[in-house]
Structure 1
């Protein structure tokens, strides 16, 4: 017998050459396989979700949604044209609208709406929200009851109102939902109106602190102004300072720059009079110096008339002297007339000269008197200016206090007016009473039920996948079990007789699958298919006996002499599958029977012999511990090309590791999606204790759509290939 060859990475790579060419299943295909495997669970959960959605839809009370639309501008409408405390550009930031949206959903606004509509006492309001209205009825009995009813009302309002900004605009929709259409419209409109009023009240209240502060400052400045003005008047009275306003205004409201005293006014007037007196004196002096030819004499009509008459008289006298003597009576009369006129002229000129001299003397006297008074006032003003320094100090203090007081008083009046009637919010559309319910929506509920059902189904499948750790992906054989995959066998049903027919039929899918397994097994050793090997599994009924019969049949059809041994003395099954009788067999030889040929029976195929398990011994493990099993295998290898042993399962039994000591290697049979991965790993660990090569694993009962079946591995490629082709196509 050739020495067994230990499993090495290179042979395993040779076994799965085509597998490495296409190693993994696409993720979507893997998910689809899981869905197909759990389709009944998924369908049941989705169907139950749909039924639940339909039931809830028809049992839910219809609700109506009313919507009002408002516009929130960034700039405030200032109807008073008076600057308020808030900046006009306060709304230019992005936070402005977010703040407005938060204020629309604030509890304080809900309380205003509740109080304005008297909702805590409105029984229909509570009925429209499916709540008990008894609390609203009895809310007037106590303060605590009223507060509790208000809180309950506010919570309902906030739970049923929805604030929705219109994207890309300053519009905001206020929606309210309840079982009453009229109540929904009423609350939506009241919400918009109360928001506008709250905004106005908040602006007006924002000036309250400023007004209170200004009132305090005004009282302080008023007292200071009164004290400063009182000190100014007292000092002026004590110093005899009498001020006169430049523009005729009240003395107490005149600033220092516009203040004049009585002394300065008197000095100004005396200076003007002195200047006039000096001018008069100079004029009188000039007239005095021009006596005889003064303008007064030249312009005196009396003197002019007398001088004209004198000239005429003299002219007549000169003419008369040409004809007559001086003694002529007419000539003497003219002489007397001339003398009289000359005397009159002299008298008149004397009177005029006396008048000029008198005016000059008077002008000189008046000028002297005014000079004395001006000099006296100059001294008085000098004294007054010395006292005016302190007076100006009092005056400036009074002026400063007056200006501060007037400025604060003006600002106080402006703030009082600035908060009146300003609002940057306007109602665009009032809510109308809805004529159709907004919920429940059958179409939306169905979609939500489908979504919820899909999510629940996904969670259920995920949980089942986590709980069910069976082999569901052929990649796991190599990746998680660390064993090469020899091939997969399609599911042929539960009927054992039909299964044997499939196994023995060389044209069946099952037979072709085992042929592929034998081909892959030929790469396990340096001399081809191992001469002696056993097949075992984790649990019974995983297909190890069927696989043993199938592999023996495939080897026998190739012309090799094959002996098939039923090593499961506890639960034998080969007699049913091969059509032999289980009268004598392996247990007899292990118990001491020396002749091997008496224990062999003809199998269903030429070159195939069968050794049944024989009678069930009291302790199969004790029989297998001896050297008889090794002796049997050695003797059979002398007659046959291959010894195939159907060993018992590994779970809880020591038979398979003991039998493995006598053969060249072992094959591990795994039923698809049955045994948990932990159980498979533990079974392999027990099998490895036999220190014999593990050539690979065979996955049985692969269903169409199972992970890896017919895709990506090549072991099932060609199953059924050419069945539907005409014979002529060959």
Structure 2
């Protein structure tokens, strides 16, 4: 704030200059129009089919997808495509409108039109120009993105924005089609290779089957085994084994019947024979009739003998029929046994053939497995090929235009208020920078606090600048601000030594006209008013000034004593209005420094202190002269006067270093000609000097 207050006019000037410059530039700028189009970019496209896509699946939370889409919206290829569609590559007005340097050979004209040879270069440049005037503005936490196109022509901006979005949608679809096409081509190559492997394996299987005479028939089953083959030998063996089982069963059944027939005609076939059963029924009837007759008659009875003969004939007929049935059973048994033996021999033969076939089918099965594997791979690739074709044909786009770009009705730039605000901020920044730079370059002592901060001197006090009044007259006015200031300095001097104000002190400065003589006069006056006996010695023998205050000449003074005159009373004069004694510089010597190098100054101070309470020497300035260090080395302390806003601090430091080198005791600094209105802290110091006084108009 201190720096700002000090350089406030510089800062205000910078602000005014920047605002005026911003206003002029705004009025001179070409109006530009911004057309805005809103796009919706979905993370996933709508799935019309359930087929798996070709591209790798990624996480829904992956923001990399959207960053990729924004990058594609700013791609060079898209810009060049838009430039080509809008025919900007050969549009001279377009390149002139955007200030394109047409010194390139690609812009050479033939018959009033650009040459075709430079079309590729012009297309690249046109794309770069469009990219410079197109910006992508994603909407946070949404799937929306805005395409902003800025140009001097409102209609052109809207047209570019709409064509830009249209081409982005088309390129997005083309990339998907290209990805599907790439997958189809890859699968097609794989499908061809799989087909060749399947054909080779099938030919190898058929050739081996012909060589080994392996004949297999398709299976007649259903389910998983419906496609497997079966060999003829296996079928024959299965059929013969079944027939053998049936023949064995028939032989066992015939053998059982034979055994039954051997037990007196009690076989089941005899019991079921109708002829035998009819004969046995007739015999039973004849036997019953014979038994009835035997109850009444003798065995020789003719009827009885006839029945007896009939019974015997029936028994012979029954025996003949049972013999015939038994012979038939025996014949069937023999046939069944012969058939069983024949089938068993055939089964054994087929078993040998089947085992030989199995040995020869090991390699055949290897070839068959290779055929099945190749067929499964071929069928899978073929199914995948068909799915990709369908999925690629029915996929939808995941980019949609929400709001197309309309022709802007008012320019987007320049904006007067915004530009003025920017100019105002720029002016503040420039002014502040200049203030800090000037502060770093400015070595003037502006405030009393800077005496200690920059120079390292204790501040004895600050003296205000008096205008339109002589310092002597101001000191005579006990109510003046100058008197108040030097009273404060006198008070500060009272704390510099253990015995109060130093008895001998010199007042010096860096260069002339900094107020050292006024300070010397004021300190002597303040001490005299404190009822002290004071003498003011003009030590500046090169440019004396104390004699003017006393209204006398400088024919006698300090130089006389230093030259050898011992009568001090002839060298002094009284300043009754101020209350102290003065000693002029005396005649100006050829070389004042030579007079100060001896012991005469030390002797003078000793003799003066015998008479006076305080000796105040108005010393010459330090820079360029040896006088001040010589005087400073002889007195008890030095008061250093520094002109406010009038001397560089680096120069003061150099002068102080000379005094330090001369072993001078510097009591502190006095800031002279101080103007409160120019100070960094404003009214603070002036308030102290003018407190309780009435202002005169």
Distance in structure 1 (CA, Å) of the matches to 2:130 and 2:593: 80
Post-superposition offset of 1:684: 0.4
For residues 296-339 of structure 1, give each alpha carbon's deviation from its aligned partner in whole angstroms, at most 9, with x where no partner exists: 899899999999999999999999xxxxxxxxxxxxxxxxxx99
Distance in structure 2 (CA, Å) of the matches to 1:708 and 1:517: 20
Distance in structure 2 (CA, Å) of the matches to 1:573 and 1:150: 87
Match of 1:17 in 2: none
Q: Which of 375, 383, 408 is matched with 2:356 structurally?
A: 383
1:697 aligns with 2:672: no
Unaligned segments of structure 2, at least 5 residues: 293-310
Distance in structure 1 (CA, Å) of the matches to 2:77 and 2:538: 87
Q: Which of 545, 550, 555 is matched with 1:584 structurally?
A: 555
Post-superposition offset of 1:683: 0.3
Match of 1:146 in 2: 119
Match of 1:172 in 2: 145
Match of 1:720 in 2: 690
Q: Contact 1:277–1:366 (CA<8 Å) still a contact in 2?
A: yes
Post-superposition offset of 1:718: 3.8
Q: Which of 353, 370, 376 is matched with 2:343 structurally?
A: 370
Post-superposition offset of 1:115: 3.4
Q: How many residues in Structure 1 have an aligned counterpart in Structure 2?
A: 684
1:469 aligns with 2:440: no
In structure 2, relative to structure 1, the CA distance for the partners of 1:432 and 1:585 (3 Å cut) is farther
Unaligned segments of structure 1, at least 5 residues: 1-31, 320-337, 726-730
Distance in structure 2 (CA, Å) of the matches to 1:348 and 1:174: 118
SS of residue paired to 2:411: coil
1:608 aligns with 2:577: no
Q: State TM-score, norm by structure 1.
A: 0.79
Post-superposition offset of 1:51: 0.7
In structure 2, relative to structure 1, the CA distance for the partners of 1:242 and 1:499 (3 Å cut) is farther
Post-superposition offset of 1:559: 2.3
Distance in structure 1 (CA, Å) of the matches to 2:78 and 2:545: 84
After the TM superposition, which residues 215-226 of structure 1 pair with which residues of structure 2 at under 5 Å, given as runs?
A: 215-226=188-199
For residues 207-231 of structure 1, give each alpha carbon's deviation from its aligned partner in whole angstroms, at most 9, with x where no partner exists: 6766565555444443333332222
In structure 2, relative to structure 1, the CA distance for the partners of 1:631 and 1:80 (3 Å cut) is same
Match of 1:679 in 2: 651
Post-superposition offset of 1:447: 1.4
In structure 2, relative to structure 1, the CA distance for the partners of 1:65 and 1:414 (3 Å cut) is same
95-104 or 351-360, which deviates more: 351-360
Post-superposition offset of 1:424: 3.9
Distance in structure 1 (CA, Å) of the matches to 2:57 and 2:475: 93
Distance in structure 2 (CA, Å) of the matches to 1:206 and 1:504: 104
Q: Which of 534, 537, 540 is matched with 2:506 structurally?
A: 534
After the TM superposition, which residues 616-627 of structure 1 pair with which residues of structure 2 at under 5 Å, given as runs?
A: 616-627=588-599
1:230 aligns with 2:203: yes
For residues 657-710 of structure 1, give each alpha carbon's deviation from its aligned partner in whole angstroms, at most 9, with x where no partner exists: 233344332111112233222211110011223323111111123333625677
SS of residue paired to 2:362: helix
In structure 2, relative to structure 1, the CA distance for the partners of 1:97 and 1:339 (3 Å cut) is same
145-154 or 617-626, which deviates more: 617-626
Match of 1:29 in 2: none
Q: Contact 1:470–1:677 (CA<8 Å) still a contact in 2?
A: yes
SS of residue paired to 1:487: strand
1:646 aligns with 2:615: no
1:524 aligns with 2:496: yes
After the TM superposition, which residues 211-610 of structure 1 pair with which residues of structure 2 at under 5 Å, given as runs?
A: 214-247=187-220, 258-280=228-250, 366-415=339-388, 421=395, 423-493=397-467, 495=468, 497=469, 499-574=471-546, 578=549, 580-582=551-553, 584-586=555-557, 589=560, 596-603=568-575, 605-610=577-582
Q: Which of 191, 197, 203 is matched with 2:164 structurally?
A: 191
Match of 1:157 in 2: 130
Distance in structure 2 (CA, Å) of the matches to 1:681 and 1:233: 115
Distance in structure 1 (CA, Å) of the matches to 2:478 and 2:391: 103
Match of 2:302 in 1: none
SS of residue paired to 1:71: strand
Q: Contact 1:121–1:137 (CA<8 Å) still a contact in 2?
A: no
Distance in structure 2 (CA, Å) of the matches to 1:55 and 1:600: 72
Distance in structure 2 (CA, Å) of the matches to 1:309 and 1:582: 208
SS of residue paired to 2:455: coil
Post-superposition offset of 1:656: 1.6
Distance in structure 2 (CA, Å) of the matches to 1:622 and 1:709: 46
Q: Contact 2:217–2:229 (CA<8 Å) still a contact in 1?
A: yes
Post-superposition offset of 1:459: 1.6
Distance in structure 2 (CA, Å) of the matches to 1:549 and 1:129: 76
In structure 2, relative to structure 1, the CA distance for the partners of 1:361 and 1:115 (3 Å cut) is farther
Post-superposition offset of 1:488: 1.7
In structure 2, relative to structure 1, the CA distance for the partners of 1:638 and 1:87 (3 Å cut) is same
Distance in structure 1 (CA, Å) of the matches to 2:476 and 2:119: 90
Post-superposition offset of 1:477: 3.0
Post-superposition offset of 1:436: 2.0
Distance in structure 2 (CA, Å) of the matches to 1:128 and 1:316: 149
SS of residue paired to 2:536: strand
Distance in structure 1 (CA, Å) of the matches to 2:391 and 2:94: 39
Q: Contact 2:476–2:578 (CA<8 Å) still a contact in 1?
A: no
Post-superposition offset of 1:137: 8.6
Q: Contact 2:6–2:680 (CA<8 Å) still a contact in 1?
A: no
1:63 aligns with 2:53: no
Q: Which of 44, 48, 58 is matched with 2:17 structurally?
A: 48
In structure 2, relative to structure 1, the CA distance for the partners of 1:309 and 1:56 (3 Å cut) is farther
Distance in structure 2 (CA, Å) of the matches to 1:553 and 1:228: 131
In structure 2, relative to structure 1, the CA distance for the partners of 1:141 and 1:716 (3 Å cut) is closer
Distance in structure 2 (CA, Å) of the matches to 1:120 and 1:435: 27
Distance in structure 2 (CA, Å) of the matches to 1:80 and 1:136: 51
Match of 2:7 in 1: 38
Distance in structure 2 (CA, Å) of the matches to 1:297 and 1:116: 111
Please, what is the CA RMSD of the aligned residues?
Answer: 4.6
Post-superposition offset of 1:381: 0.8
37-46 or 655-664, which deviates more: 655-664
Q: State TM-score, norm by structure 2.
A: 0.82
Post-superposition offset of 1:591: 5.8
For residues 518-553 of structure 1, give each alpha carbon's deviation from its aligned partner in whole angstroms, at most 9, with x where no partner exists: 111012223321222221111222222222222222
For residues 476-510 of structure 1, give each alpha carbon's deviation from its aligned partner in whole angstroms, at most 9, with x where no partner exists: 433443322111223334x4x25544444322322
Distance in structure 2 (CA, Å) of the matches to 1:532 and 1:221: 119
1:100 aligns with 2:100: no
